[in-house]
Structure 1
Amino acid sequence: MKINCLIIDDEPAAQSILKIFIEKIDFLSLVAICNNAVEALSELKSNSEINLLFLDINMPKISGLSFYKSLQNPPFVIFTTAYPEYAVDGFNVNAADYLLKPFSFDRFFTSINKVVDKLNVKTTLTTSEESIIIKVDKRLHKVTISSIFFIEAFGDYVKIYLENEFLLTNNRLKNILTLLPNKMFVQVHKSYATNLRKVTIIEGNQILINQYKIPIGLKYKSEFLNKFNNE
């Protein structure tokens, strides 16, 4: 998963700090740095894959707030400014967060967590074939897709089973499945989905993966067997 970011700020020092912080988080990707709203608009028009703006509110000619309000279907935004009185205005346009300069990396990371939460709710997180980001409590875990054995719905949570452990995340099974390649993962029961590449034994209406026995629901069996036989 990558969250593609755009910095829009007229202060070189602020640009530098944001760039350093973004580089510390491996699922953030800095697309460009813009000095003003005009440059930013041009960048947004040429790149539809930008997910997140770090937008300074107090900029010359066009303020960050005015610029953001003018956008059609804008990306998520984290406003940055040295002026706390702008905070209310920022949240009135549904900002993911508001960073008051100067801010620490811990505070920056908290803002990123809020963006990940919003992306998860909308189930629009993009993924690569290599890894996804899973939130467990207040931490973000980068999980290699091929290391996932199976997934289990567990009340309001989902257990993601790896070789010697599982991660418990507050999410829904169908949301997690949207983050995974459907050629590799298939739902086999209302509460289970498996990595086809980890399945070695099918015994009646059960799948054996390591020490685990996973039930196969009748309504899912045909699709599972079809994908398993073509894997």
Structure 2
Amino acid sequence: MKCIALDDEPLALQLLENYIQQTEGMELVNTFTDPVSAEEYINNNGVDLLFLDIQMPDINGMQFYTNLANKPPVVFTTAYSNYAAQGFDLDAVDYLVKPYDYERFARAVMKAKELIEYRQSKEVNDGYLFVKYNYQWCKVFFKEIELVEALDDYIKIVTPGKSYLIHMSMKVVSEKLPSPMFIRVHRSYIVPLDRITSWNKNSITLDDKTIPVSYTYQKQVQDILQKRTSVISAG
């Protein structure tokens, strides 16, 4: 579980780092004291969990979270217990009142893991994701996605008769798409496995469109496609 933390107190960040190092399955990928840098990171990287202070000099943590375009599950951390009700109104996973011990931290992490697992299974089973396009949220069904292509700071999701140009990184969208259905073959391309009609080491074909396979992804692509080929041959 990849997490980040935003807190204006370095000692609070150090405590979180120590607790996370003790916790199996957790990785603290970044810490921030600056809200602007934290928001930029969240918008351009996949984050499973956010530890967020409330009382900060430049912005209230709840206001910061409300303004996020991409909202990862959040655990609020603060020295003030009177914010708890407001925090849960924002669907916070938990609310840690400083100073908190490792046992209390671990309970919050367990809640976060359960929520993330539920959301992931629900997203796959429901078969779609929402993307922000033309100032509104649009439902895109996984089965309709023909190609995902990176275009500078945007990605293009191609579906029959319509393409969605959205401000999102390839890393984030690749984590939102279920791995049994999609594979990344290039820094600029994610493709649906069921639409691959032929392939070799350096490229794949989707109907009449040929997509390059970069060296970075060649082994992963070969392993997955060879397993599918073996299953089909065996059947």
Question: Shorter-chain-normalised TM-score: which range?
Answer: 0.5 to 0.7
Give 2:100's aligned amino acid: F
Residue of structure 2 in register with 1:44 after alignment = 42
Cα distance in 2, alignment partners of residues 16 and 118 from structure 1: 25
Change (3 A) 1:13 1:124: farther
Which of the two has greater helix per residue? 2
Identity of aligned residues (%): 35
Letter in 1 for 2:48: N
| SS of the residue 1:123 aligns to | helix
Matches within 5 A, 1:92-171: 92-123=89-120
Runs of 4+ aligned residues of structure 1 deviating over 4 Å after TM superposition are 178-182, 228-231
8 Å CA contact retained: 2:3, 2:51: yes
Give the secondary structure class of the aligned counterpart of 2:120: coil
Spell out, residue by residue over 1:6-40, the C-alpha distance to the aligned partner (whole angstroms, 9 max, x if none): 11001111011000011111311111110031121
1:124–1:4: structure 2 CA closer, same or farther, 3 Å change rule? farther
Map Cα deviations across residues 70-123 of structure 1 (whole Å, 9 max, x no partner). Answer: 012300000000000011111010000000000111110100110111112112
CA distance in 2, matches of 1:85, 1:120: 30
- State how far apart, in whole Å, the 2-side matches of 1:106 and 1:43 are: 29
Tell me how large the CA RMSD over aligned residues is. 2.8
Cross-structure match for 1:7: 5
Note the residue ranges of structure 2 that are not aligned, 5 or more in a row.
123-177, 183-227
Distance 1:124 1:71, change over 3 A: farther
**Match of 1:75?**
72
Distance 1:6 1:124, change over 3 A: farther
From the superposition, tell whether residues 49 and 230 of structure 1 become closer, same or farther in structure 2 (CA, over 3 Å). Answer: farther
Specify every segment of 5 or more residues in structure 1 that has no aligned partner in the other structure, as ranges. Answer: 126-177, 183-223
Cα contact 2:42–2:70 (8 A) shared by 1: no
Show CA shifts across 1:124-180 (max 9, x none). 59xxxxxxxxxxxxxxxxxxxxxxxxxxxxxxxxxxxxxxxxxxxxxxxxxxxx798
